[in-house]
Amino acid sequence: MSKNIIEVSQENFVELIIKGSEKLPVVVDFWAPWCSPCKQLTPILEKTATSFQDKIILAKINIDENQSIAAQMQIQSIPMVYAFFNGQVVDGFQGNIAESEVVDFFKKVSKLSGPSPEISEYLEELKNAISNTAWKEALKFSDLILDIDQNNIDACYGKVRSLIELQKFKEAKEIMSVLPKEILNEKKMQDLNLNVDIAENAFKASKNILDFENVLKKNPKDIKAHIDLSNALFGEGRIADCYSLLINAIKIDPEWNNQEARKKLLSFISSHDLTSEEAKRARRQLSSILFN
């Protein structure tokens, strides 16, 4: 059993749940051996709790053995799940719910206590490092956070993003392969997962940048040469030049190969920075071409 899953009785209820919830939120599972729905829900609660170690305690209370607690809590139907924080019931649900809803419930409850002061400091440093594209620093602070909280979504993102930006694509993919499903399902992690291959292919293409430039010089209207060179420019970090080249390709033939240049441009913008000045300018230019 995970270290954050405990059995609670009337003897230690106050200590482990009322006082314990002053440190971390406590999710309490009221169950009984004869309860069939409990046998379905409890394993889901336990599985989910293992992904929230150091954030949530899951307390299991057998109401047959602890009838005074059940009476005090007015438990009339099981399974019944309550969330305690600072000694008070703050949330809960009755009956079976889907595993995805259990995960959402744990996420909501886990946010009650917020990050520790130490993690908060590291998160601020991580945010600054990413903003300044200081990827070695971002990787360092991601690791410091993950040493304390292995499932911190911002640190997981920071580590994978840093490895991608440092061209350590194999390591980035290895980390993504072992992350829990609930972290991988986060939108920004899904975007990163898609962007690993884009960044890796662009990095490989950048090694042949002179060849692509020569092909384009020989035939300035070669759309494929535009796309190949844009890939190499993206891999070199020459984002503005990359976007400009693709805009030019779209001007030459917007429908070429099922609008490949437009799709390539949008994939680069999405994987790099949607809010950058280069992205805003490229989107304006794209709209002007397509809608005029």
Q: 145 and 105 in one domain?
A: no
What's the CA gap between 207 and 227, in Å, rounded? 15
**Residues sharing a CB contact under 8 Å with residue 214, sequence separation 6 or more, in sequence order:** none
In a domain, 198, yes or no: no
Q: 106 and 9 in one domain?
A: yes
Catalytic one of 35, 63, 73, 242? 35
Where is 109: in which H helix or E strand? Answer: helix 99-110
Our measurement of the distance from residue 126's CA atom to the centroid of its chain's CA atoms, rounded to an integer in Å, reads: 15
Q: 142 and 159 in one domain?
A: yes
In a domain, 195, yes or no: no
Last residue of a domain, one of 152, 185, 218: 185
Q: How would you write the pLDDT of the chain (292 residues) with one tens digit per residue? A: 678 899 999 999 999 999 999 889 999 999 999 999 999 999 999 999 998 887 899 999 999 999 999 999 999 899 999 999 999 999 999 999 999 999 999 989 988 877 777 888 999 999 999 999 899 999 999 999 998 888 889 999 999 999 998 999 999 999 999 998 888 988 889 888 888 988 898 899 889 999 999 999 999 999 999 999 999 999 888 999 999 999 999 999 999 999 999 999 999 998 887 788 999 999 999 999 988 6
Q: Is 35 a catalytic residue?
A: yes
Domain that holds residue 162: 117-185
In a domain, 197, yes or no: no
What's the CA gap between 29 and 74, in Å, rounded? 14
Q: Which two tokens stand for residue 207?
A: 């090694």
55 touches 110 (CB < 8 A): yes
In a domain, 199, yes or no: no
Catalytic one of 38, 163, 164, 246? 38
Least Cα distance to 127 among 155, 164, 147 occurs for 155
Q: How many domains does the chain have?
A: 3
